[in-house]
A and B are shown apart, each in its own frame.
Chain A
Amino acid sequence: MTARVASGQAPQALDSATAAAIAPIVEAARAEKLPVAPLYAKAREGQVQRVAVAKIEAAVRTLADRMRAANEALAPDASEQELHAAADAIKSGVPAETLRAMRKAGGDGSLAVPIGVLTQLIARGVPVERASMEVVALLQKGAVARNFIALEERVRQDVLAGRRPDESLDLRLKGIIPNLPQSAGASATGLSASSPKRPR
């Protein structure tokens, strides 16, 4: 397991009612060797927005479930940053199969940025299946963090200029893919913009 920093972090600045409500969830996560700092952070996020304790407890429980699923999908050695990103992606509707495909395609590089960009593309309005397929294909072609950040930034500018998110994704992939190290073997992946299908 990759080092997960601050996973045993104390419940800083949590009121006693919130701390007591989430304690069993945190203990269960700790027993499964999941990082617990994100659970405390989720509780703190609710508290700083003056959310009711019951709602905070539900949010922390849901996050623990998402982290469990993310940990399983990114096995055997997900970093805390990857788990954080993957849990957010699952919240946005990204299936565990996509995360597994990303781990397989991404080799031993960090997936924190690619998963984050996938989540943001979906948040912008790109359909989940389409965004998932393209991100996996980019990883298979050797795309690295800066390629993903560039893609997200260009799509953002296009959407601000009035273009549809999926149209913008099509357009901007044409500018990124030819510069990737394995773009010549792209057809071997069986994935293309014209044949969207969920990665397995």
Chain B
Amino acid sequence: MHDINEDSDELIGRIVSELKTLPPVPADATARVLARVDAARRSETPGRFSRRFIISLPAAIGYALAATLAGFLIRGALPRRPEPTVAQVPNPPVAETLGTRTTIVPASANRRALQEAPVKVQFVLDAPRAKSVMVVGDFNAWDGSRTPLERDSTTGVWSALVDVHPGRHVYAFLVDGKTWTLDPRAPRTKDLDYGTQQSVLMVGLP
């Protein structure tokens, strides 16, 4: 009967014999190899560098499973966010899709909102002796404290930039907090409610 142990001993003996016949390795060989590898790594292009990060398929599957498991654990540990709510609109058109409730804003409302977006309007008044100038109008609810004008110290001209919606507006300047002053650069109109003169501003789209 063939003895497996005898065969193994013979194979090991042959390997040892072959290794003993290999040429001797110089003492500085290891240092020289490491130096060349280091030099090659430094001279690598980004493309070549990125190839070193290609991982095997089993390793990738393992990483993905680990990441998924970690995600489940973290999600379970964190408090749940409340479901998003939808603003209540009187009789809104509603789309029901797999439990998601979506309020549809009419396209006309969006278009109008875009067309009515405020634009910056500059108000200017030459009043070098004034101590304060405010602009009051329907665009700021006639509240002068919202829009004081700033004085240019060299010219004495007062000015301010104000957000105004497109359309027709009426306004006036309040000089030193009490003097109703019309804009000399703008057309005028008589207000039928209070009987006073007002300046008129036409604002178009930006």
Contact = CB atoms under 8 A, between A and B. Distances in A.
B167 A45 contact: no
B104 interface: no
Contacts of A91: 192-193
B168 A9 contact: no
Interface string A82-96: 101100100100000
Interface stretch (B12-20, B35-43, B141-149): B141-149
A13 B108 contact: no
A161 interface: no
Contact of A49 (B111, B113, B145, B194): B194
Interface stretch (B59-67, B93-101, B198-206): B198-206
A48 interface: yes
- Chain A interface main SS type: helix
A115 B180 CA distance: 27
A55 B196 CA distance: 13
A88 B168 contact: yes
Among B141, B189, B203, which residue has the most Cβ atoms of chain A within 10 A? B141
Contacts of A46: 193-194
A37 B203 CA distance: 20
A81 B202 contact: no
Contact of A145 (B107, B143, B192, B204): B204
Given A3-B109, A145-B205, A112 B193 contact: no
B152 interface: no
A6 to B, nearest CB: 9
B204 A110 contact: no
Contact of B194 (A51, A108, A112): A51
Given A55-B194, A82-B112, 14 more contacts: A2-B109, A41-B138, A44-B142, A46-B193, A48-B136, A77-B106, A81-B166, A85-B167, A85-B168, A91-B192, A112-B116, A113-B203, A116-B202, A145-B115
22 contacts: A12-B141, A41-B138, A41-B142, A44-B142, A45-B194, A48-B144, A49-B196, A59-B194, A77-B108, A79-B113, A84-B138, A85-B168, A109-B115, A110-B116, A112-B166, A113-B166, A113-B167, A113-B168, A115-B167, A116-B168, A117-B168, A153-B202
